[in-house]
Chains A and B, each alone.
Chain A
Amino acid sequence: MKIQLRYISLIALFMALTGACVENLPTELAYEGYEYANLDESAGDWNLILMTNNEEAVIPDPSAVGSAALNQELTEAKAKIAGASPEQRAAVIYWTNNPLLRWNEIALELSVKYNLIPGPNPDGTYTLPNPADPSATPNFPFAHPPYISRMLSYLSVAQYDGLITSWHYKQKFGRPAPYVLDPQIMSAYADNGLNSYPSDGAVVAITSRDVLSAMFPLEKEYLAKLADEHLESLVVAGINVKSDVDAGILIGTEVSKKALARAATDGMKNAQTPKAKSDSIKNAAFERFGWQWDNMETPVRPVGLTPLFGKVKMWNVPNVEEVRARVPPAPGTPEFNESAEELKRYADNLTVEQRRIANFWNDGLNTYSPPGHWNRFAKETAVKYRLSPVRTARVFAYMNMAIVDAGIACWDSKYYYHYPRPIQTIPGFRTILGTPNFPAYTSGHSTFSAAGSEVLAYFFPADAEQFRKQAEEAAMSRVYGGIHYRFDAEEGLDQGKKVGSYAVNRAKLDQAD
């Protein structure tokens, strides 16, 4: 007995000293279904982004309350609920009544999964992913920040237009949810009284599945499985019957088609140029300014990342040159030298807090990137304010349009100015963050973050100061990390703010407030 006790205390000591109890590290955003702060019943009249009107996606009239057809559906729903397996019940808890947040989280996870830069071949050449053959090595896509920002904009805009359409029909048809129609059916979430035809959850499942399948073609099966699970959970949760779900699928399918048609012709497929084109862009900058950015990797990458991403179609800025950054200080000038000296000082004497900031905002390879980071903030904030699905979608749509527009504006400046990175201009300079494969000016993270924070600041005025502070910290993180000069970061913030204001101005007129 004594010996046993001794063993137990020894084990306890082990656990205490090593902190070995780490079974439950969080793998997703911790939130559950909640009561919406507002049902946003008039959201059907909010301005659409892609669709021309709120009945462009057509659905049949629902069978009436009390009809045999609907009663039959309610009976089937009850059977499904009664016979639900533990996995199906777990799915109900997982998807929640604001499932857009889960799909956004899935989009971020896929972003991370595919955010690996292709390495060199044994002969020192590089092979780029091929969209026509996604499973070839390296797999398509390389989900870099421009790719992720654009992907998130299509995802969010499709979800938003789909939900506006769904809200319109919910109001128009006024068919109550199964848990209202049948006292034997309980909602798994708060009884918020939202009409159920067509299912908003199904709209989100299908738009998300379709857009993400196009963006991550190797994940098609995985996404289809997730969507099926999600659709099934809507009935098991007691919030939809089959015809609600079917109508939601119709809307989701139509909206996705529209979103993907835009994506097919937005110029992204020309963004990664051949070497000849990339060299001519570089030469043009050298002629204009007398400097040029060079890739410093071993072996050298022949082409920078997406030199023509700056030509991709913008959502809210009519012309990218409107938001082009001013000419940066030339290397060797006093203003430049001051920035270079600052970088050397940080490299030699980085404080613990500065190091933490550099790493917290790193968002480099194998992460969800700066656009993903702001999507995470948006999710947390949507939950904090218990937004309805359609109002949540609005936040993501405007934020992600602003973020991809910021990326496009930033990339236009990057390749117009073709400005060298600190590791190129400062001899022997070493950094704690990896320098990416594109020119320095302006800083992508600063631009993405300022655009994201401007939109979030507009939607959540009480938190505006915090979002702007975070964007500024993100911008400075690049200076602490040694991969950007201060003027890259400050101009990037300025540029991002400008781009963000286009989205905010559009949101102000969208009839939601």
Chain B
Amino acid sequence: MNLKSRFLCLLFACSGIVQLSSAQTPTDGLMMPKGEICVAVVYEDAQWDHYWEGTYLRTNGNIGTFDRKMLMPMIVGGITDDINVIVSLPYVKTSASGGQIAGIDGFQDFAISLKARFVDKKMEKARLMAFGNLSFSTPASNYLSDYMPFSLGFGANELGMRLIGQYELDKGPYLRASVAYLVRGTTEAERNYYYQDGSYYTSTMDVPNAWNGQVALGSWFLDKKLRVEANLTMLNSTSGDDIRVYNSPQPTNKVEFDQVGGLAQYYLKKGGGLGFLAYYNHMFSGRNMGQFSGYGLGVTYQFKAF
């Protein structure tokens, strides 16, 4: 049995910062065994003082430094050893140091996701795994998406289909890659006209679908109590318009970013109980979004439920 790595409470390295929303992208290469439940709370604080207007990186004195804080409770449960269910509900608060536009706070999107391992191949001194992940998220409050950049999220349902592959040496190092297609629905504005390279006489806005990819290189240490990882995350909308000159973003924008991140996860003891998580992410290129840098801190608790 490969239970050794399975007791580890899984958490999601790229949570939160993914496009002002979709805080829940179960990209990890870990699984909870049957009957185990992990409860986690992550606090994240991310900021930007530059943003991409189209692909032009600029500042705005009437925003100054933009800040986005998030508190995300999450539960992961092992239905079987190879099928996990993950739910999360982040609370988000936005504000800006400059200008006079009011920040807001509230529950963002409720997300539920099913993750299944369909390849688990034990080799000499190594292991190869592949996972599929189907996720769904939906706005959990009546927040206004058409209030960018302050809005809590993009205000649309999202269905994600993700494939994850992980190659892990018994000594600890691992390499992981994932790719996801995110199907996003529409969001409702409170105005019934908007401009997206032309007139739209409706309050319905089409939120572009997106590709999301990640590559991670990490390793286990201290008898698999500590995990350290560096990762590279990309998101590319498949359509959408650019932010107009010196104007606000809107949910129809073509959002892209490339982000580097580092993650450390530590468990006090094997077999469950308390764990801690810390991460830092920084965007180095993008389009139509703030150049976020931010850190996250999390506490996890894992126990056998049935």
Contacts and interface: CB of A to CB of B under 8 A. Distances in A.
Interface string A73-111: 000000000000000000000000000000001001100
Given A116-B246, A352-B142, A432 B102 contact: yes
B223 interface: no
B206 to A, nearest CB: 5
Given A19-B186, A25-B206, A296-B100, A116 B245 contact: yes
B36 to A, nearest CB: 28
A431 B62 CA distance: 13
B193 A298 contact: no
A108 B64 CA distance: 32
A25 B196 CA distance: 11
Interface string A257-298: 000000000000000000000000000000000000000111
Interface stretch (A58-66, A225-233, A310-318, A360-368): A360-368
Contact of A18 (B99, B185, B200): B185
Contacts, number: 107
A132 interface: no
B199 A105 contact: yes
B136 interface: yes
Looking at chain B's contact residues, the main secondary structure is loop
B93 to A, nearest CB: 14
Interface in B181-238: 183-186, 189-195, 198-202, 204, 206
A367 B244 contact: no
Interface stretch (A26-34, A158-166, A177-185): A26-34
Contacts of A376: 193
A502 to B, nearest CB: 29
B3 interface: no
Contacts of A432: 101-102, 147
A435 B206 CA distance: 28
A27 B200 contact: yes
A5 interface: no
A26 B192 CA distance: 11
Interface of A: 14, 17-20, 22, 25-29, 105, 108-109, 112-113, 116-120, 138, 296-299, 347, 352, 355-356, 359-360, 362, 365-368, 376, 423, 429-432, 434-435, 482
28 contacts: A14-B183, A17-B136, A18-B183, A18-B185, A19-B186, A20-B183, A20-B184, A22-B206, A25-B202, A26-B201, A27-B198, A27-B201, A108-B199, A109-B195, A116-B245, A116-B247, A296-B100, A297-B61, A298-B64, A298-B98, A359-B146, A362-B191, A365-B248, A368-B193, A423-B100, A430-B101, A430-B103, A431-B100
